[in-house]
Amino acid sequence: MNSALYTGWIAHRRFAPTAHAFRYRIGLLYLDLDEQEAVVGLSPLAGKSRLAPFSFRETDYLKTYTQTGMRLIDAVRQQVGIALGRTPQGAIRVLTQPRSWGLSFNPVSFFYCFEADGTLAAVLCEVTNTPWRERYHYVLPAQGDGFQHVAVAKAFHVSPFLPRDLQYRMSFSAPDARLGVHMADWQGELKLFDATLNLQRTSLDRAGLHRYVRQFPWMTAKTCVAIYWQAMRLFLKRTPIFSHQAADGAFRIATAHNKEQRHEKP
């Protein structure tokens, strides 16, 4: 099975105008979209029922396409194909929080899009903001092996505590025994914020799924509570608040970025 589970840490650091940092334990599903039925069949705890402790629904993602009947794998290929001018023909695998007890929420989900020969072609990032529950997509092209370093102008209002006139600088690689993603928000030569995902892979079988449910029984609810808890802490620190703005366009495409330009690797 190509699908797996990843566990590890998510860390956020805010440098200006208010210093703030936190780190949480996290568990994520890495699902090959061609293996959905096999994963759901691993255990009675996994399924499509409304209150399953571990489940996956295609209509939770790329809703413009999937809620009109398009398969998620086709929706991802179409979005990436429009962005890149070519459509990856290999596996599509998503790194995401599975539904937990009927609750679905992901600040960001990563769709790893492979060529037919198994090389990574691109990553489609689906970002959801809070509390507006809007969505936006960034397409990160991949070239060659190893860590990829890309940059893209921010086009979507995510946090009320960060402005829109920022540049995202990101590092990522194809998922393996370890998985890392690093994203930093830069305003000119000033880094305001960064987030790092540092994960280790574990097998996805019946025992592994049960272990995940025991370790992260309320993962989605924990994420939602943590977002508002940290927002309250920032508010009490009198961090400036920026008004909500509509998204700029339907999606943005990242470009290669020189990693020597103060670019950090996870």
Cis peptide before 17 (omega within 30 of 0): yes
For residue 176, give the 3-state DSSP assignment. coil
Beta pairing, strands 135-141 & 251-253: parallel
pLDDT in tens, the chain (266 residues): 999 999 999 999 999 999 999 999 999 999 999 999 999 999 999 987 778 999 999 999 999 999 999 999 999 999 999 999 999 999 999 999 999 998 999 999 999 999 999 999 999 999 999 888 899 999 999 987 788 999 999 999 999 999 999 999 999 989 999 999 999 999 999 999 999 999 999 999 999 999 999 999 999 999 999 999 999 999 999 999 999 888 988 889 999 886 544 444 44
CA dist., res. 127 & res. 137, Å (int) = 6
Whether the model clears a pTM of 0.85, i.e. scores above it, the answer is yes
Q: Are 198 and 266 in contact (CB under 8 A)?
A: yes
